[in-house]
Amino acid sequence: MKMETRVFPDLDALSRGALEEMLRAMQDAIKQRGRFAVALAGGRTPAKLYTLWAHAENYGVRTPWDRVHLFWSDERYVPHDDPVSNYRMTRETLIEHVAIPADNVHAMPTDSPDPAKAAEAYEAELRSFFGAGAPAFDLQLLGLGVEGHTASLFPGSPALEEKKRWVAAVEVPAKSPRRLTLTPVVLNEGRNTFFLVSGADKREILAALRSEPSSQASQYPAGRIQPAGRTLWFLDEAAGG
């Protein structure tokens, strides 16, 4: 597949590069639609970006937090204060440092005994947010797992074939197996998609993705996310140099 990549010397530089592009996408979205809707990723790589965003005023850019809406592309089905919660990571790196209204923080619910019910509730929240329009995030941040997973869409997952539902409750072959994830129905609508990929352990999967013919559906979940909007791959040297 074709990838538009930006390669940076290290995670710090990658995060600064991604922040710059993100702030540009934010300004465009607010100018055009009056708000900036972002789907956030978990993982080690984006945490740095969230910290930088929280302090972006230091770089002379003011984020109008009342116009920003935070959503998540996936979540571990654990309480929000659990150490492995994606929400918790974002709260600690970003949310508690900025003046974002509580109503603009759309965490995936994880308190129902039935994850399928939570997936339905989150889909209802997305449907009310996007109204009659397509579920097109202004920006979706995604990670890449060594076996090609993105969000909590793992190889072979039935959620990859989903044609209707926007959010799925899944069991994945990784730590915290119970997860909620956005499905490709949503992720293939994104106006901007940034994959954030760092570390030498990602070299092999990046090479495999790059060498796949664009004419065929990818065998990797990350390669199945190909929205018509802009997709950029932010890589550090270790992963993609």
Piece in contact with ligand 6PG (CB under 6 A), picked from 65-73, 123-131, 137-145, 205-213: 137-145
User: Could you tell me which of 82, 108, 90 has the C-alpha nearest to residue 170?
Assistant: 108
CB of 133 to ligand 6PG, least distance (A): 28
Residue nearest to ligand 6PG (CB): 43
Nearer to ligand 6PG, 2 or 175 (CB): 175
SS3 of the chain: helix, strand, coil, percent, to 5: 40, 20, 40
Which listed residue (174, 200, 217, 228) binds ligand 6PG by CB under 6 A?
A: 174
CB of 34 to ligand 6PG, least distance (A): 30
Nearer to ligand 6PG, 101 or 177 (CB): 177
Nearer to ligand 6PG, 21 or 147 (CB): 147
Mask 76-105, x = binds ligand 6PG (CB under 6 A)? ------------------------------
8 A C-beta contact, residue 164 and residue 135 = no
Residue 143 binding ligand 6PG, by CB under 6 A: yes
Report the first-to-last Cα separation within the chain, whole angstroms. 17
Residue 155 binding ligand 6PG, by CB under 6 A: no
Give the 3-state secondary structure of 128-155.
Answer: HHHCCCCCCCCEEEECCCCCCCECCECC
According to DSSP, residue 98 is labeled S
Nearer to ligand 6PG, 45 or 63 (CB): 45
Which listed residue (6, 178, 199, 212) binds ligand 6PG by CB under 6 A?
A: 199
Piece in contact with ligand 6PG (CB under 6 A), picked from 5-13, 142-150, 205-213, 228-236: 142-150
Site for ligand 6PG in 49-78 (CB under 6 A): none
- Rounded Cα distance between 223 and 76, Å, is 22
Mask 20-49, x = binds ligand 6PG (CB under 6 A)? ---------------------xxxxx----
Q: How far is CA 230 from CA 5, 74, 147, 226, in A?
A: 12, 21, 24, 9
- Rounded Cα distance between 29 and 68, Å, is 10
User: Could you tell me which of 79, 76, 5 has the C-alpha nearest to residue 43?
Assistant: 76
Residue 217 binding ligand 6PG, by CB under 6 A: no
Q: How far is CA 13 from CA 25, 45, 91, 108, 131, in A?
A: 18, 12, 23, 30, 37
Point out which residues bind ligand 6PG (CB under 6 A).
Answer: 41-45, 143-145, 174-175, 199
